[in-house]
Chains A and B, each alone.
Chain A
Amino acid sequence: MNVEEKKAPIRITRFDGLFRGRQRLLSGLSGVLFAFLFIFPLFASGFWLNTLTSLLLLAAMAEGWNFIGGYTGYAAFGNVAFFGIGAYGTALSMTKLHWPFFPGMIVGVAAAVAFAIVFGLPILRLKGHYFAIATVALATATGEVANSWTSFTGGSAGITLPFFHPMQLSGQYFYYLSLLLVVFGLFLTWYIMKRKLGYSWVAVREDEEAANMMGINTTWAKVTAFALSAVMAGFAGGIYAYWRTFVLAEEVFKIDYTLQMILATVFGGPGTIFGPFIGAFIYYILVTILVFFLPIGQLHATLLGTIIILVMVFTPKGIMDFISGKRKLTWRALLENVRIYRV
């Protein structure tokens, strides 16, 4: 027998794609999830269809947040601004200009992207807490403008959009549209992570100055991450506006949306392709169980908060770490985690 030691040849490709963990397992898991999501409207409607649509919109926004927060490592706390601008842009184009939905939504997304670029250029120079605070302030200020500029946005009266026809298909229509957006987000993430742009984001996250030394235009890298997260949230806002047929500043600029995006991403695993998508599921399942199935009344928020803290303490890199087998769910491993992250 020929027992020759076979050495795997070194593949010399420049950008293999920054994929971590067990990709085959994860794509299999997501495949099952998508098969379920695809046929879901056949046996569910009303409440559950609406809940799933909200979940998918959250997943899409989380995928967007993952670009700036997960891959580029900038703690953006104002991504709801893109959602709100997307919703308002769509609503205003459809009511004031009487445009159809799709061109209207494109206007909303374009406005969100323009906003991300114009304000991203100055605030992405800030780091750490300063950047986080600036994004919160930006989102709050934008919401205030939408709320007060009565002649343009309708102010606190909101904007009522035309209904979708035919009405009885409305639920399915927006559900599948949201599902399409989620798939688009996954594809976009995968595509970027196989390219220079993805590498530049991760390099900025790992060491921004070293990234600069490698010849990466870090400003460009950060602004594209910010703008692409605006694309995802902008589309989600547009779908939301037409789906709910009503847009109100207090609702679409709620900081809760930002927090949900971050939680979904962190639950699932920031800086991974499927993390935000799976994290959105985990988050929704958690909230649904707490709010609807546990007889604890108003205590559910307290319990949710407690669970979030525990998740942060014990799985700082998200569920993804367990799925990919990098971390074991044992007491010793958890305590080790606490030690490493100095919680």
Chain B
Amino acid sequence: MLKIENLNVGYGEVQVLWDINLEINKSEVIALVGSNGAGKSTLLYTISGLLQPMSGSIKLDGREISGLPADEILHLGIGQVPQGRRLFAGMTVKENIMMGAYLRKDTERVKEDFEFVLSLFPQMGERLNQVAGSLSGGEQQMCAVARGLMANPKLLLIDELSLGLAPIIVENIYEAVSQVIQRDMTVLIVEQDVLLALEQADRAYVLDVGHITISGDAKELMDNPTIKEAYLGV
């Protein structure tokens, strides 16, 4: 459904991504892994329209989307759970979750989806009227995922979900994400925690200083000697 070809991205004169080629099929879970500063978030920002590419193409269901503004791209079906949660701290949990559905006009479906995300994250239901800034880190991440889901995107980009969270909480949230995947959503996971990402994904791409160096089946990559040495530390 998403096809990226020869994508080059940079900030000003500094080029960050070089000749990126990446393909995501419907109902797949793709992991994008790599170390700090490899350009993972930059790639996500480019897909979701917050950054404009220098050259190359991004096609969603055959339609060119590079260069479109972010709200347009969300409308076409690419949603995002940003790195560091980025909740609206002064708004309540409920308001934050509903902000995810900002562009949607199908109010009845929004209500159904709201009940669905509350069933995924029952803790959120208890904290609906609490200000998001007062939540714990794990709860904030749940709220951010819930908010991302409320846009009901065809493709959800999840950036560094595990950052700064206890493993048990990360497991909980990924458990919820896998339920979403069963509902026919396509997901691109960006993770620094390579093992965690490979466990979740069908296929994976490894990004190394702006280049995609390795790609393939996630389970096979776990046995790949280069990856084992460089990222898994075994």
Contact = CB atoms under 8 A, between A and B. Distances in A.
Contact of B90 (A200, A202, A209, A215): A202
Given A14-B107, A202-B90, A202-B91, A213 B98 contact: no
Residue from B87, B98, B100 whose CB has the most chain A CB atoms within 10 Å: B98
Interface in B171-221: none
B161 to A, nearest CB: 15
Contacts of B95: 16, 18, 199
Interface residues of A, number: 23
Nearest to B85: A210
A202 B102 CA distance: 13
Given A14-B101, A209-B86, A215-B70, 6 more contacts: A10-B118, A202-B90, A206-B91, A207-B86, A207-B87, A214-B74
B111 A215 contact: no
Contacts of A209: 50, 82, 86
Interface in B78-109: 80, 82, 86-91, 94-95, 98-103, 107
Contacts of B48: 213
A215 B87 contact: no
A1 interface: no
Nearest to B144: A210
Interface of A: 10, 12, 14-16, 18, 196, 199-200, 202-203, 205-207, 209-217
Contacts of A213: 48, 50, 70, 74, 80, 82, 86
Given A210-B88, A213-B48, A216-B71, A12 B102 contact: no
Contacts of A210: 82, 86-88
A6 to B, nearest CB: 15
27 contacts: A10-B118, A12-B115, A14-B110, A18-B95, A199-B95, A199-B99, A200-B102, A202-B88, A205-B90, A206-B90, A207-B87, A209-B50, A210-B82, A210-B86, A210-B87, A210-B88, A211-B88, A212-B50, A214-B99, A214-B100, A214-B102, A214-B147, A214-B151, A215-B74, A215-B75, A216-B102, A217-B69
Nearest to B157: A213
A15 B115 CA distance: 16
B135 interface: no
B102 A196 contact: yes
B88 A12 contact: no
